[in-house]
Chain A
Amino acid sequence: MTMGATQENGDDEMDQKVKKYLRGEAANLEGLKDKKLKGQLAVREELYGKSAKAAAKIEKWLLPSEGGYLEAEGIEKTWRIKQESIAREVDILSSRSQYDIVLPELGPYTLDFTSNGRYMAAAGRKGHLAIVDMKTLNLIKEIQVRETVRDVVYLHNELFFAAAQKKYPYIYNRDGTELHCLKEHGAVLRLQFLKNHFLLASINKFGQLHYQDVTMGEMVGNFRTGLGCTDVMQVNPFNGVVALGHSSGTVTMWKPTSAAPLVKMLCHPGPLSSLAFHPNGHLMATSGKEKKIKIWDLRKFEVIQTLPGNAKTLNFSQKGLLAAGTGSFIQILADFSGSQNYSRYMTHSMAKGYQVGKVLFRPYEDVLGIGHSMGWSSILIPGSGEPNFDSWVANPFETSKQRREKEVHSLLDKLPPETIMLDPTKVGTVRAARKKEKPTKEEREAEMEAAVEAAKDTDFKKKTKGRNKPSKRAKKRKEIIDRAKRPLLEQRIEEQEMSRKKRKTNAETEMPKSLQRFVRQKAT
């Protein structure tokens, strides 16, 4: 019966995989009365099922690479294993990914990788910008801008990167040529790039958030957050919202089309020190200055787990491992059972004087890049990267021709900023009907009558000593009735004004072309 058992397990596994590719539940066709539509939808659902099964089979049999792993034997614990012992066990090519670059004079370093993990941009605080090809460990270009550089981020491919310098952010070419100086952003503390929308988001010293479209140069949105200066900013890759962590302990989430944040949640009792998003978009890790790391579920906005630990920087890997760095100590947390229960997986201590500035996992590789006060390092974390890449999403072995094609295709598929929303699967679905309806005329009159009746029913205090005159009583009664009527009348006047304004704006747009300049512009 063991064959039966293993077959059952295999079936369960396949079912899990198929579920992943189905992207949601099948539609319920029971309630449909239209037979033609029912037939068409049934055919569609069958096709979806077939393609999900085919994709699951491909995942099982046809993917070229397998993921990394680290297993401890006996009484050994994975978090006591040092990088040297890992380097001894793996092949030469992988052990070349473990190194330390020491550049003590040029300040704490921050890093960014391109989306295919091939190129890295490193920026030292004292103005050192460097681009390195990680495959060949070749330095492509390094420049010294002689100004404070606070952050660096790659744009859509390795040809362009943006550096947040002392007064404004600048965009540079791969050859180090300065292409643009973005004066509108101001003194930027952090930069983030939204891939699908080609938007460069920045937060500056005054707490202003700017979104700029890098294809057309158009400033899509600039908002005053109103919550002060902060340098904790991350973009959620799943839905494109930008999250800011503030010194009051709140995390706000923004989209470029609205001046008010989408979500404002109180995460920590003190200021936030860093923020990270899981690639599936449902998990967020935050750490506060009170030395706690919290893992949040973003669908319910609830804490799943609280871990002790000081983390100046957090980062999730493609496979869901969480790296937390503080001082000269880095710990990697992983959830082994898939139930979002994070526990220690690996740790790494660097030499005493090194202060970790930023940890960043390299995409599609089992490597963690660390930017610290004495330069940058790279260590091996087995099981953190996605082993199988898709050539049409991100290709680490891209030729220049493929890169050019990809650029054109991604420009054609550029999403408009309106598509950024908390739940990206809502695109193309039916919007729920408005439940509240405006009250009709009879209803309104009935309401007013009821209010008046209620007001008339009140009893008056009997005043003595000559103050209880009938004229004064009548006046008081009238005053109470008017007070009861007033809010309803005010509502009615408001609605009338709104409809008048609407009619007015309609009329204004119908004006002939020569008079357009006199039309009152609505303040945006």
Chain B
Amino acid sequence: MKVKVISRSTDEFTRERSQDLQRVFRNFDPSLRTQEKAVEYVRALNAAKLDKIFARPFIGAMDGHRDSIKCMAKNPNYLKAIFSGSDDGDIRLWDLASRRTVCRFPGQQGAVQGLTVSTDGSVLVSCGSDCTVRLWNVPDANLADLDSLSDNSAKPLAVYVWKNAFRAVDHQWDGELFATAGAQVDIWNHNRSQPVNTFDWGTDTTISVRFNPGEPNVLATSANDRSITLYDLRMSSPARKVIMRTKTNSIAWNPMEPMNFTAANEDCNCYSYDARKLDEAKCVHKDHVSAVMDIDFSPTGREFVTGSYDRTVRIFQYIGGHSQEVYHTKRMQRVFCVKYSCDGSYVISGSDDTNLRLWKAKASEQLGVVLPREKKKQEYLEAVKNRYKHLPEVKRIVRHRHLPKPIYKAANLRRTMIEAERRKEQRRKAHSAPGSIVTESIRKRRIIKEVE
């Protein structure tokens, strides 16, 4: 007869010396684990609760400006720095780690309307309502660390004066050109004191401009006539235009999918478009209760942050119809500009109350060095929470966010109004000949027309 019995020698299954790690053996057979789904559910519930316990997104406020902050720029080469410009012409370079001003750039008379940094991080361009464009030398990062206590001032590289006040500026990616928005869209070169090219379509002022990260010659602008226009620098005339029902305050291109951009609109929504097909929005992001002032994408291309006139900052998923996170503070007033940090972990908001605020992008994230075991555990908890987040108990905890009372009430009011409108539309449809009333999806409804 042939016989074999399980026999385990202790040496194989225990460690040799006390310096060694304990041995771990795995068997993934599902029959060894009973009631897996219930255990996962309990873990998801605990993970949701722990998430809420550790959700402390606010890191600090940067004080210094004396008037409301209208624009910010991030240096693509240096993570720790951010530039901000305010309504009294004060431009500052901040160090995010110590939350202090490193350098000031005095000289702009009147409000600073736009700030941008060239792709190599050496030149800062600012434009304002005093009809000037100023170019500054960005101080070297290492030197800046040493002198972070004293307020350094820098002298401008160049000052170009032009015909009318400017509303926004953006720099080309990997190029030498930058574009300003004002009465028309001007394309400038660093070395020329006059714009190299001018685009004009329509009679209204252009209020924001953004270059495409993937295609350096394409830019998107938004104007006061409620339109979004796409220009190509290689052609002498503008490419495409879409007119919406309300004005777009700001545009941001998705860095991972450069054919898509998201527009922050005055009617409290953000609309994501595919630049090749502008007749329908790809996604509508709703949740703000007042005009959305600024928008910026995360470098992963999966999230974007918006700042709105209703004193909140919201973080959305790039395909999500509703916001994932909402940040607010009693002291933060109207938010005019937001930026996502270049490593995707922080969000900076500049608001009416002269402060820049630094927030965590993921509210319950552990900052600092995370051990690999901790990281794995956190990823697991995140995954198990996402698997069960539609079940009522877990959903209630995951969705819960405290909102200030005015915003809560405004949101309820908006909801009632939209519901009422929808009900009336349904009744109109029910009482008329079938097919005579056609409901348009919201992705199309807000667009009036597309123009070539």
Residues in A lying within 8 Å of B, measured CB to CB: 20-21, 23, 36, 55, 58-59, 63-73, 76, 78, 81, 85-86, 89-91, 93-94, 135, 195-196, 237-240, 279-281, 364-366, 380, 382, 385-397, 399, 402, 412-416, 419, 424-425, 427-428
Q: Which of B14, B28, B37, B391 contacts A21 (CB 8 A)?
A: B28
Task: Give bound CA distance, A385 to B27, whole Å.
Answer: 14
Q: Which residues of the other chain, B, contact A89 by a CB distance below 8 angstroms?
A: 1, 3
Q: Is B443 in the interface zone, CB < 8 Å from A?
A: no
Q: Which residues of the other chain, A, contact B42 by a CB distance below 8 angstroms?
A: 413-416, 419
Q: Is B43 in the interface zone, CB < 8 Å from A?
A: yes
Q: Which of A86, A280, A396, A419 contacts B38 (CB 8 A)?
A: A419
Name 27 A/B residue pairs within 8 A (Cβ), A-sorted.
A59-B29, A63-B27, A64-B12, A64-B25, A73-B2, A86-B5, A89-B1, A90-B7, A195-B34, A196-B38, A238-B34, A382-B4, A382-B5, A386-B27, A386-B32, A387-B6, A389-B27, A391-B23, A391-B25, A399-B22, A413-B39, A419-B35, A419-B41, A424-B37, A424-B38, A425-B37, A428-B41
Q: Is B26 in the interface zone, CB < 8 Å from A?
A: yes
Residues 12-65 of B contacting A (Cβ, < 8 Å): 12-14, 22-35, 37-43, 46
Nearest chain A CB to B389 CB, angstrom units: 11
A36-B41 contact given A94-B5, A390-B25, A415-B35, CB 8 Å threshold: no
A90 touches B1 (CB 8 A): no
B2 touches A71 (CB 8 A): yes
Task: Give bound CA distance, A20 to B8, whole Å.
Answer: 26
Q: Which of B26, B31, B319 contacts A279 (CB 8 A)?
A: B31
Q: Is B10 in the interface zone, CB < 8 Å from A?
A: yes
Nearest chain B CB to A233 CB, angstrom units: 18
Which residue of chain A has the shortest Cβ distance to B35 in the bound complex? A424
Q: Which residues of the other chain, B, contact A85 by a CB distance below 8 angstroms?
A: 1
Q: Is B388 in the interface zone, CB < 8 Å from A?
A: yes
Nearest chain A CB to B47 CB, angstrom units: 11
Q: Which of B1, B7, B41, B46 contacts A94 (CB 8 A)?
A: B7
The digit string for B381-404, where 1 denotes a CB below 8 A from any CB of A, is 000000110010000000000000
Q: Which residues of the other chain, A, contact B4 by a CB distance below 8 angstroms?
A: 66, 68-69, 90, 382
A59 touches B28 (CB 8 A): yes
Task: Give bound CA distance, A240 to B34, whole Å.
Answer: 9
Q: Which of A58, A73, A395 contacts B28 (CB 8 A)?
A: A58
Task: Give bound CA distance, A424 to B34, whole Å.
Answer: 9
Q: Which residues of the other chain, B, contact A68 by a CB distance below 8 angstroms?
A: 3-6
Q: Which of B8, B10, B387 has the most CB of A within 10 A?
A: B8
Which residue of chain B has the shortest Cβ distance to A93 in the bound complex? B7
Task: Give bound CA distance, A419 to B3, whole Å.
Answer: 42
A393 touches B3 (CB 8 A): no
Nearest chain A CB to B117 CB, angstrom units: 35
A428-B388 contact given A239-B35, A386-B32, A415-B39, CB 8 Å threshold: yes
Q: Which residues of the other chain, B, contact A414 by a CB distance below 8 angstroms?
A: 42
A65 touches B37 (CB 8 A): no
Q: Which of B5, B13, B41 contacts A397 (CB 8 A)?
A: B13
Which residue of chain A has the shortest Cβ distance to B44 in the bound complex? A428
Nearest chain B CB to A136 CB, angstrom units: 10
B34 touches A402 (CB 8 A): no
A69-B3 contact given A196-B39, A280-B31, A424-B34, CB 8 Å threshold: yes
